[in-house]
Structure 1
Amino acid sequence: MTIHHRADRAVFRFSGPDAHRLLNDVLTGHIPSEAGSAAWFALLSPQGKILAEGLAGWAEDGIWVDVHESVGDDFFKRMRMYKLRANLEISDLRASHSVGFSADAVDGAVCHGDRFGTIQIGFRVIDTAEAAAEWDQNDTPYHAARIANGVLLHGNDFAANDAFAHDLGMDMLDGIDFVKGCYVGQEVVSRMKHRGTARRRPVIVSGVTGVAGDAVVASGRDAGTLGQVVYGRAVAIVRLDRVSDVGAVTVNGAPVTVSLPGWASYGFGDVASEE
């Protein structure tokens, strides 16, 4: 069994009587309170932009959370601020633990299904840094799998404070709990859902010669931005209303193929209502 080290992930553990309540009140997803698959979540700004994104899973009497390393300090600071007088402990495990990816469940480590709605991309594994030293240090198989499924990640595909939850399709992939009460940025998320104002959505781009951040051009107009490129394929956040001809999409002047993820309920050329 091969575990691929995802060296760019930062690990935190929330434990104590109020741990679940705090995370459920602050993050977008339905945070688990018992063993099972991990839940996709985002920490939003009050304006609804994504500040951090990751998975949260219950194990060993605590909730294990991972975010991109680039926002580890900010995430830790914000969660301690939201903690106030709540009865819980937030453990910073960045120096002692690592995140890995496995196609199969792993015994002897914290292991959760890496689930996005109906899509499960193997398993998220959390173990000690000593154990991680023995893992395969190439995380390409993970990124190839999630790109093939149209899954975007903060830090790899877009920067903090640069995208809304709907831009990632979190509303379709169980990254947002629309039933629970308020969380940070909830007003913006709710308005985009009920008014249908989500114009930008994930699109799979194939045949790419380029890097993350390159423009996706449709019929001569900028339509979006590439995420991480693996084996000539990437997920881009694209303005759907600007892609009326899928045969006229280019990156760096070269034609590319664009397709929708299998889970998408939107289509090219869709025009969202105005606010």
Structure 2
Amino acid sequence: MNNSEINSVFAHMPDFGFIAIGGSEAIDFLQSIITANVETLADGAMRQGALLTPQGRILTDFMIYRIAANEFILQCEADRSDDLYTRLRRYRLRRPVTIEKRNDLVCHIWWHLDMVPASMPNLFADPRDSALGYRYLGADANTLLGTHGAKPGNIDDWHAIRIAKAIPQGALDLTPERALMLEAGLDHLNAVDFEKGCYIGQEVTARTHYRGLVKRRLAPFVIDAIPQPSADIVLDESLIGTCKSVAPTSGDGAIALALVKLSDLHAIHKSVNNLSLTIDGHAAQLALPDWMLPLPALAKTDS
């Protein structure tokens, strides 16, 4: 055991489903329908991605694990897994590709560590931010991770880190058939590739990117209470949005993601205690992570 493991914690990530995709044309199949580039994904690595509508709206987001050269696992919310499975089978047509549900898989998050043991199987580094740690796919996490000094933790603590980094996950953050990749900042997380060629919804996503048409962005807010998802966000008595993911923080506070107009984000960010910002009636603050700064310029069509 090394010092970097002593203070690490792990927690089960519940309510997720897994779909295995394999076969000689698995790469070409996924490249042609999802936003992420699986061809450049190394064996033993993972990456976020999504399946879009033809109009460029997110149907389902997921994490993609490359198990071997032609073997992948997609992990999505359990409530969305049946729909994703059905759509994948529909798009397969006659390709030599296998698509199977994997009800035997379990995901644990392992975080607050700097490095992991060499050649540890079924362990995947989260590439979106080092603070998000690693994911372990296996049912024996208590035994395996415990031998490396990891202590059981609370998954809400990990979600607080995720939200603070403005990283969306699931249908609450990415409303099916409404959310856009660029509004969610997923282009900064390598979840969409603008060079890999066509996929479903590619034309709208690329046009939004190259023409600078993004009008809203997901951003984190710190609150001195714990609001419910969908709580109102009010700026100087005007409703500017509602909460999405919420996670408690130290004390009695919380951190929440919200989809807000870029013009409102600019106004809040530039203000010096001149604007009143509340969530569910409680004082709140915009807490932009470094990667979101400077904020994008307003779209030409944004008033």
User: After TM superposition, is the score higher than 0.5?
Assistant: yes
The structure 2 residue matched to 1:188, chosen from 204, 207, 214, is 204
- Where 1:230 maps in the other structure, the secondary structure is strand
Distance 1:120 1:156 in 2: 22
Q: How big is each residue's C-alpha offset from its partner over 1:99-157, in whole Å with a ceiling of 9 and x where there is no partner?
A: 221125476642211122x65621122124xx368795842232122112111112343
Instruction: Map 1:21-40; keep pairs closer than 5 Å.
Output: 21-31=28-38, 32-40=40-48
Residue 125 of structure 1 corresponds to 136
Deviation at 1:188, TM superposition (A): 1.2
Q: Is 2:299 the counterpart of 1:272?
A: yes
Distance 1:240 1:185 in 2: 23
Change (3 A) 1:156 1:138: farther
Residue 272 of structure 2 corresponds to none
Q: How big is each residue's C-alpha offset from its partner over 1:176-234, in whole Å with a ceiling of 9 and x where there is no partner?
A: 10001111111111111111111111211002531112222223322222122112111
Distance 2:80 2:61 in 1: 9
Structure with bigger gyration radius: 2
Q: Which amino acid aligns with 1:18?
A: E
CA-based RMSD? 2.4
Residue 259 of structure 1 corresponds to 287
Deviation at 1:261, TM superposition (A): 2.0
Structure with the higher fraction of residues in helix conformation: 2
The structure 1 residue matched to 2:180, chosen from 164, 178, 196, is 164
Change (3 A) 1:52 1:120: farther
Residue 123 of structure 2 corresponds to 111
Change (3 A) 1:264 1:166: same
Residue 16 of structure 2 corresponds to 9
Residue 246 of structure 2 corresponds to 229
Change (3 A) 1:26 1:120: farther
Distance 1:7 1:219 in 2: 38
Distance 1:17 1:176 in 2: 23
The structure 2 residue matched to 1:76, chosen from 66, 85, 102, is 85
Distance 1:164 1:54 in 2: 15
Distance 1:146 1:60 in 2: 27
Distance 1:138 1:126 in 2: 18
Contact 1:172 1:264 in 2 (8 A): no
Residue 250 of structure 1 corresponds to 278
Residue 209 of structure 1 corresponds to 226
In the alignment of these two chains, the number of paired residues is 270
- Structure 1: which 4+ aligned runs deviate by more than 4 Å? 104-109, 132-137
Distance 2:80 2:88 in 1: 12
Q: Which amino acid aligns with 1:127?
A: G
Contact 2:44 2:123 in 1 (8 A): no
Change (3 A) 1:42 1:4: same
Distance 1:261 1:183 in 2: 30
